[in-house]
Structure 1
Amino acid sequence: MVLAYDGTPFHGYAENPGVRSVAGTLREALERVLGHVVELTGAGRTDRGVHAAGQVVSFATRTDGFDPVALGRSLNKLVGPSIAIHSIDEVPADFDARFSATSRVYKYRVLNTPVHDPFRARFAWHVPQPLDLAALRTATDPVVGTHDFAAFCRRPPIAADGFSASLHRTVRHALWRELGDGLLEFEIAANAFCHQMVRSITGTVIEMGLGRRRAGEMLGILRSGDRANACRVAPPQGLTLWEVRYDGVKPRGERPVRRRFPPNPTQGFAVAEGSP
């Protein structure tokens, strides 16, 4: 299942007791339609206020012969205006939305104008001071490749055996582009991301774009492995999980035909770009 959501009203993707989450809203809708308990696996556990244009969720159903198009239409009527289901496909039983993914793409948008724009405030970080785009690009270059990103990630808890999860990740590309009207976009793709990695990198790079830190410091910060050497974490509203990629995953049948249906007209989302 490929879906998009405005993360503003949710306490993140992951389901937690007592708070509204994307996964909880989706699970309740699925269980209502399918008539049985459903366990969801999401490709990315987006934080509170973070959005998605191409989140992928996998689940198993005991319902034989269900129509994915009809299921999608039913779900879009139940999940509310902040979520849009774009497509549902049947996949092999061993497919896992999280662990089968080969890469993920995030985009972070910065509104670099003297005055904030209330119409874009939910989906961009407003930075009123002028930013040096060349410095942003120079500062971003060192993160491409395989590195230990401990300087830009929240440390995972120590396991019972005394070890913590590796923070080594492979960044395939990281680039800045101008979208016009003062809007800048940072796109980064990697095999996986650790907690707050994109927002931490963005926050540090923005400080360099403002001239508060030198762009040449980025490699040293990365190599230090010390979170204290990085700068502030960028706010969540500018970040969007844009795309999740998989190798060799096709719906069952002779051709990899993707079934699509119009989302709820009240939701106003475009079809997720680059859906797997």
Structure 2
Amino acid sequence: MYKRVAIEFSYDGTDFYGYQIQPSVRTVQGELEKALERIFKVKVPTVAAGRTDTGVHACGQVAAFDCPNPRLSENDIRNALNANLPGDIYVRRVWFTHDKFNPRYEAKKRIYHYYILNSEFKDLFLQRYVWWFPYELDIEAMRKGARFLVGTHDFAAFSKKDEEKENTVKTIFNVRVVKLRRELILIRVEGISFLRGMVRSIVANLVKVGTHQWPPERIEEVLLSKDRTESAGLAPPHGLFLYRVLF
């Protein structure tokens, strides 16, 4: 008798070729499924709430799988996983859920955090987790630009590549630009689902506004264009975190 298990876990994406399993390269899903196979001596497929790109981190990724040993408690599974996972993945929480639970389809909200170190000098101890941007940024202008992104829109211009099969209409609940401390800026994006590279594209476009190269209204023009060539491109991956998934 299998039990459906959900896990919430963190990872440092620096040394991974993204989340999704791929042959011949190190991925988060690959390491997770290797650990499960070591524990249960059989292959255990997993499904996750989101697929992060190469170099992107997570604080609250959620995955689900069928546990082959029904005698194990939630705490047993958590301890076994953390004993078998590499040091750059850590399971924070485990819970039993209903038999058909799929975090990809049941998520009601995904929250991403993007960190910008807006300082003259690079911080060697933060460089894996922030975008070092040594030029002045106008936070208020970025907030004005962010307002155009809230709601249900066609985000084709904010995707990493042509999304031929995917619906490019997405709903964004909120985009906040927060100064956490004098030199650290957080861009928090909340939505139901996202196109590939969409959050990094949002950040890159808002930074363009923050440097006064674009007026805030330019964000709406890019959105309405549905054309990636009108966009400012992508912010670096290492400042991005999948912060939390809500069900």
Which TM-score applies when normalising by structure 1? 0.85
Secondary structure at 2:45 match in 1: coil
What stretches of structure 2 of length at least 5 have no aligned partner? Answer: 1-6
CA displacement at 1:157 relative to structure 2: 5.4
Q: How does 1:258-269 map to 2 (within 5 A)?
A: none
Q: How far did residue 211 of structure 1 move?
A: 1.3
Structure 2 distance, partners of 1:71, 1:181, is 41
1:18, 1:155 → 2: CA distance? 24
Separation in structure 1 between the aligned mates of residue 103 and residue 42 of structure 2, nearest angstrom: 20
Q: Which has the higher strand share?
A: 2
State the partner residue of 2:50.
Answer: 44
**8 Å contact kept, 1:72–1:87:** yes
Which residue in 2 is equivalent to 1:190?
191
Q: Which residue of the partner structure matches residue 235 of structure 1?
A: 236
Whole-Å Cα distance in 1 between the matches of residues 68 and 83 of structure 2? Answer: 22
**Letter paired with 2:230:** N
User: Does the Cα contact within 8 Å between 2:38 and 2:84 map onto a contact in 1?
Assistant: no
Task: State yes or no: 1:74 paired with 2:80.
Answer: yes
Residues 156 and 162, structure 2, Cα contact 8 Å, conserved in 1: no
In structure 1, list runs of 5 or more residues that go unmatched. Answer: 159-163, 247-276
1:76, distance to aligned residue in structure 2 (A): 1.0
Task: Give the match for residue 272 of structure 1.
Answer: none
Q: Secondary structure at the match of 2:33?
A: helix
Q: Which residue of 1 aligns with 2:4?
A: none
Given that 1:174 and 1:188 are in contact with CA atoms closer than 8 Å, whether structure 2 keeps it comes out as: yes
SS at match of 1:174: strand
Instruction: Answer whether contact 1:200 1:234 (CA < 8 A) is retained.
Output: yes
Runs of 4+ with deviation above 2 angstroms: 154-158
Contact 1:109 1:124 in 2 (8 A): yes
Which residue number corresponds to residue 139 of structure 1? 145
Superposition pairs of residues 114-133 of structure 1, within 5 angstroms: 114-133=120-139
2:41 counterpart residue number: 35
Query: Following the alignment from structure 2 to structure 1, what is the Cα–Cα distance between the partners of residues 163 and 8?
Result: 30
Which amino acid in 2 is paired with 1:83? Answer: I
The CA RMSD over aligned residues, in Å, is 1.0
Aligned equivalents of 2:79, 2:226: Cα separation in 1? 47
Aligned to 2:167: 166
- Count of residue pairs brought into register by the alignment: 241
